[in-house]
């Protein structure tokens, strides 16, 4: 198994180059039809599940319609407001703690939570945060109550992986479906990212906001939807390797253990992502592959850091040598001057003697 992973990783490097080359292409798929049925296969969601308390966060429209749920919802909202305030305070304190420490390094923060809040703040403004992220199209949804409520995310504890459930649809089809919900008001659904059949990554929601993807885990997870060519839901190699790269980037950015990454199924028992629910061994390989990729990236960073330090050390030594040389030259100059002065004094003395 380990060997297979390593071989696959090597393939990843080759593939990611292919993905870059391919990402400019667009796949033509019956876009409108697909988009209409896209994403989370709305009809397939059991109404019984929707009526549970957990469903509230993912379906605010249904929540509003149910008067009996109103009190519970109010309490929940109040709780959320409190949580949001706490999050903002934590972010502020983390930001001040980060001053003078290298941004983006876990070691610079006393707790993981401080680090995460600082990273969430960075994700909004600091392009250096995004530098290690694989290329993505930023196609943010309009803020609306059905797909992008604009609610601040509490924290980021892990990732939740989904499949779009609509074979052959593209990343933009699915992104546009989420956008259309503000008008159709069919249901609540969205995702932070959608990965397409060419491995292209479309970002729909900023990391600092919640997406409507994973019920009660919307408040502390980042969601990734994956396109798939067939009904069985297996990701093709472009989608798969983009998912590995994006997952590794997010895990490194938020100090997430890749073994904690969840399937939608692990949150709600929905058969999503279908193929990886039906093939738990493949799901484990995905997590192991992300872990191996993180290790590889960490090692590359450490090697680069070491090389930079060695270079700085060498430069410092060269500087020191130059300074020592300059010092020696100055001393030689001083000695020569002293000698010249002495000679002059001797000459003067000799002249005086002669005059006497
Ligand atoms: Zn899902």
CATH code of 205's domain: 3.40.80.10
Which region, left, alpha or beta, applies to residue 195 given φ > 0 means left and ψ of -120 to 50 means alpha?
A: beta
Q: How far is the CA of 160 from the centre of ligand 1 (A)?
A: 8
CA end-to-end distance (rounded Å), the chain? 106
Least confident of 10-24, 230-244, 297-311: 10-24
Whether 49 has a pLDDT exceeding 80, the answer reads: no
For residue 230, the tally of other CB atoms under 10 A from its CB is 10
Whole-prediction pTM value? 0.68
Among the listed residues 223, 209, 256, 222, the one whose alpha carbon sits nearest the alpha carbon of residue 87 = 209
Q: Higher confidence at residue 194 or residue 1?
A: 194
At 58, the pLDDT band (50, 70, 90 cuts) reads very low
Is residue 52 situated within a structural domain? no
Residue 118: the pLDDT is: 96
Q: How far is the CA of 319 from the centre of ligand 1 (A)?
A: 59
Q: How far is the CA of 268 from the centre of ligand 1 (A)?
A: 9
For residue 110, the tally of other CB atoms under 10 A from its CB is 10
> Using an 8 Å Cβ cutoff, are 163 and 228 in contact?
yes
Whether 20 has a pLDDT exceeding 70, the answer reads: no
Burial state string for 8-23 with b = 16 or more CB within 10 A and e = fewer than 16: bbeebeebbeebeebb
Q: How far is the CA of 353 from the centre of ligand 1 (A)?
A: 109
- Using a pLDDT cut of 70, give the percent of the chain over it: 70
Domains contained in the chain, number: 1
Is residue 268 situated within a structural domain? yes
Is residue 94 situated within a structural domain? no
Q: Which two tokens stand for residue 189?
A: 């659904």
Is residue 315 situated within a structural domain? no
Is residue 335 situated within a structural domain? no
Residue 351: the pLDDT is: 74
Is residue 338 situated within a structural domain? no
Residue 78: the pLDDT is: 55
CA 83 to chain centre: 23
Q: How far is the CA of 56 from the centre of ligand 1 (A)?
A: 16
Residue 270: the pLDDT is: 97
Residue 189: the pLDDT is: 96
Q: Higher confidence at residue 51 or residue 132?
A: 132
Domain interval for residue 162: 2-19+135-308
Is residue 216 situated within a structural domain? yes
Is residue 71 situated within a structural domain? no
The pLDDT tens digits of the residues spanning 70-123 come to: 455 555 555 555 555 555 555 555 555 445 556 778 889 999 999 999 999 999
Q: Which residues surround ligand 1, an ion (CB under 5 A)?
A: 162, 264, 272
């Amino acid at each position: 198994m380990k060997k297979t992973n390593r071989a696959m990783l090597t393939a990843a490097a080759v593939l990611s180059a292919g993905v870059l080359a391919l990402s400019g292409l667009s796949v033509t798929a019956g876009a409108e039809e697909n988009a209409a049925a896209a994403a989370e296969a709305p009809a397939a969601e059991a109404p019984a599940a929707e009526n549970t308390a957990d469903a509230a966060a993912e379906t605010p429209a249904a929540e509003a319609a149910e008067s009996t749920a109103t009190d519970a919802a109010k309490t929940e909202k109040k709780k959320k407001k409190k949580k949001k305030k706490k999050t903002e305070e934590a972010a502020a304190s983390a930001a001040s703690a980060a001053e003078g420490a290298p941004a983006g390094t876990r070691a610079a923060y006393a707790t993981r939570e401080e680090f995460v809040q600082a990273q969430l703040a960075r994700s909004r403004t600091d392009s250096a945060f995004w530098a290690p992220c694989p290329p993505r199209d930023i196609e943010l949804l309009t803020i609306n109550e059905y797909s992008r409520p604009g609610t601040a995310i509490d924290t980021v504890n892990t990732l939740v992986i989904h499949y779009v459930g609509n074979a052959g649809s593209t990343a933009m089809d699915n992104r546009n479906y989420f956008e259309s919900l503000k008008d159709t008001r069919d249901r609540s659904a969205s995702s932070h990212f959608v990965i397409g059949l060419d491995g292209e990554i479309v970002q729909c929601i900023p990391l600092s906001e919640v997406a409507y993807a994973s019920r009660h885990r919307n408040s502390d997870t980042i969601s990734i939807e994956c396109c798939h060519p067939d009904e069985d839901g297996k990701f093709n190699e472009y989608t798969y390797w983009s998912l590995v790269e994006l997952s590794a980037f997010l895990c490194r950015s938020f100090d997430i253990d890749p073994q904690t990454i969840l399937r939608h199924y692990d949150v709600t028992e929905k058969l999503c992502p279908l193929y990886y629910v039906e093939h738990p061994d493949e799901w484990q390989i995905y997590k192991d592959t992300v872990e191996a990729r993180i290790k590889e990236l960490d090692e590359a960073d450490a090697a680069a850091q070491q090389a930079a330090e060695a270079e700085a050390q060498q430069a410092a030594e060269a500087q020191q040598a130059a300074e020592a040389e300059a010092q020696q030259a100055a001393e030689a100059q001083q000695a020569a001057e002293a000698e010249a002065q002495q000679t002059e004094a001797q000459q003067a003395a000799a002249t005086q003697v002669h005059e006497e």
